Amino acid sequence: MALVPNEAIAAEVEMGADPSTVRATVVQASTIFYDTPATLDKAERLLAEAASYGSQLVVFPEAFVGGYPRGSNFGIIIGNRTEKGKEEFKKYHASAVDVPGPEVDRLAAMAGKYKGHYLGKHRKLMPTGLERIIWGFGDGSTIPVFETPIGKIGAAICWENRMPLLRTAMYAKGIEIYCAPTADARPVWQASMTHIALEGGCFVLSSNQFCRRKDYPPPPEYVFNGTEDDLAPDSVVCAGGSVIISPSGTVLAGPNYEGEALITADLDLGEIVNEKFTFDVVGHYSRPEVLSLNVRDHPTRPVTFTSAKTEDSK
């Protein structure tokens, strides 16, 4: 059973003077692994710094709170689970957060300090590879696009950004600022981000962690399976690549592969109309008489109950 969700929690901060321009920041920084309170402290420091630059929207990396378990396999062998892997999973599970829950309350309070508020959540529809052994699956009820004073904002996490039908659903909801927290630092990721910006006629904000081996607990507490012997404390295990891209495919800021950073750009929302005049994937380019998409946006539950009272009232 997969217990630990991978969720993007959406919040916005204060709107600037020009309603057509939004200052946005993507955070490129490492989790403090196995220490959720310290990670939240770090998040607050980074949010305060971004707000001091006038940022109205701040995007954090995938699994920033709770941690991305890079290099771990949790002792999974087909037909068996190792005792060490089980203990490792207990520690990782203890770092997870509930939505709603006290950690989310604190995140909401952080946003509130800068005149924002908690908006909702997106839960990753399809974890990738071994992520599926520890994270549950989202459903259609958590792929929102939020209408805010700074634009229509939504998020897709890591490789679910490569799911064309999910992207189409978000485009149909009118997304203008497309947030893409990720764990993929490969150069090819930039191609996906550029394609989404062009395809959706939207701004794309991709945020990734920058991590060194020393940002994770030392062995034997935490082991990078298959690569541990090649790693020194300063070895880079996730190189970032965070980036901000305009609807025309222009890179506005980043990608950064150098270290922890706050990557900031001003988004001119007027560019969206210009790009959709040329190509609108769910507008004049949609051809609904040929192609259509049905999205089930209700929660899916494994167990439902019909009470006797309800039955009697029929």
285 closest CA partner among 159, 168, 157: 168
Token pair belonging to 131: 């992520």
Pairing of strands 151-155, 177-182: parallel
Q: Which of 7, 103, 121, 124 is catalytic?
A: 124
Give the alpha-carbon dihedral of 87, 92, 93, 98, to 10 degrees.
170
Question: Is 158 a catalytic site residue?
Answer: yes
Among the listed residues 7, 12, 62, 88, the single catalytic one is 62
Please identify which of the residues 42, 158, 160, 202 carries the catalytic annotation: 158
**What stretch of H or E contains 160?**
none
Tokens of 50: 């971004």
- Of 74, 82, 104, which Cα lies nearest the Cα of 3? 74
Q: Which residues of 24-45 are buried (b: 16+ CB within 10 A; e: fewer)?
A: bbbbbbbbbbbebeebbebbee
Q: What Rg, from alpha-carbon coordinates, does the chain have?
A: 20
The residue whose two tokens read 């690549």 is: 241
State the Cα–Cα distance between residues 112 and 220, nearest whole angstrom: 40
Element at 141 (helix H, strand E): none
| Cα–Cα distance list, 303 to 3, 77, 99, 196 (Å) | 17, 30, 20, 36
Residue 124 falls in the annotated catalytic set: yes
The helix or strand, by DSSP H or E, that contains position 9, with its residue range, turns out to be strand 7-11
Give the rounded distance of the alpha carbon of 127 from its chain centre: 12
Residue with tokens 């229509």: 152
Catalytic amino acids? 62, 124, 158
